């Protein structure tokens, strides 16, 4: 996900600065977010302690019997639910950066099919049905045209996640709310992780 989003979606937007008030701040955020993944990868390779949200991913990735789509979504969940709010806090983003933040992440939502295609090509893992909301998105696409309604659904869902992540990132920046925010982040990550496991059990992934 990071590789595709970086090369095809994020980097061109950051370099052009189109629609962004402070591209440099968004670049800081994105680099921090990318480094959180690279640090976890390095820890896994070297035998150092791995962040909890990524240890589950690496365990699944090392087991060829696991569903590739489940493994990919566990990684996306770690990235979305945990890494993003911590990256927001790490670079000190504030409410003044919110419009740029939503612009950057919505660009990924708009071109989400690229990530679906890349995931399938690289890992033979089809996360498309989940990202299209199964029959609900397919039904909308019958009315709006292929990929139109389901992409609107995905962008709206990601918008809600992005808003929650921004609030959590700001909560992490405040010492008075840091602990309760961390608890909420871990709860959200765990809830999504459990839902993905259930979907896999019923062959939804």
**Residue 145 sits in which domain range?**
2-11+51-201
Pick from 15, 2, 1, 5: nearest CA to 106: 5
Within 8 A by CB and 6+ apart from 109, the residues are 151, 154, 155, 158, 159
pLDDT tens digits along 163-178: 999 999 999 999 999 9
Looking at 56-60, 78-82, 123-127, 183-187, which range is the least confident one?
A: 123-127
pLDDT tens digits along 56-98: 999 999 998 888 888 988 998 999 999 999 999 999 999 999 9
Specify the pTM: 0.83
| pLDDT value, residue 1 | 52
Whether residue 154 has pLDDT greater than 90: no
In-domain check, residue 167:
yes
Residue 200: how many CB atoms within 10 A of its CB? 18
Rounded CA-CA distance 37/145 in Å is: 36
In-domain check, residue 99:
yes
47: left (phi over 0), alpha (psi -120 to 50) or beta: left
Burial of 108 (0-12, 13-18, 19+ CB in 10 A): buried
In-domain check, residue 24:
no
**What DSSP line would sit under 146-173, residue for residue?**
TTHHHHHHHHHHHHHHHHHHHHHHHHHH
Looking at 54-68, 81-95, 110-124, 135-149, which range is the least confident one?
A: 135-149
In-domain check, residue 46:
no
Whether residue 139 has pLDDT greater than 60: no
| pLDDT value, residue 84 | 95
- Our count of domains for the chain comes to 1
In-domain check, residue 25:
no
């Amino acid at each position: 996900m990071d590789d595709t989003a970086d090369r095809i979606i994020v980097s061109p937007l950051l370099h052009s600065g189109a629609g962004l008030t402070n591209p440099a701040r968004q670049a800081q955020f994105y680099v921090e977010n990318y480094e959180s993944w690279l640090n976890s990868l390095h820890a896994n390779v070297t035998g150092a302690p791995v962040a909890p949200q990524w240890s589950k991913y690496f365990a699944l990735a090392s087991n060829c019997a696991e569903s590739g789509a489940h493994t990919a979504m566990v990684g996306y969940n770690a990235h979305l639910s945990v890494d993003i709010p911590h990256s927001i806090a790490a670079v000190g983003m504030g409410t003044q950066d919110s419009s740029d933040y939503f612009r950057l992440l919505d660009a990924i939502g708009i071109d989400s099919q690229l990530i679906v295609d890349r995931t399938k090509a690289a890992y033979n893992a089809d996360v498309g049905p989940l990202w299209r909301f199964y029959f609900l998105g397919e039904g909308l696409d019958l009315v709006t045209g292929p990929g139109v309604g389901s992409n609107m659904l995905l962008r709206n869902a990601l918008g809600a996640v992005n808003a929650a992540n921004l609030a959590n990132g700001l909560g992490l920046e405040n010492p008075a709310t840091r602990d309760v925010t961390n608890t909420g982040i871990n709860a959200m990550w765990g809830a999504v992780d459990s839902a993905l496991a259930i979907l896999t059990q019923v062959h939804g992934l």
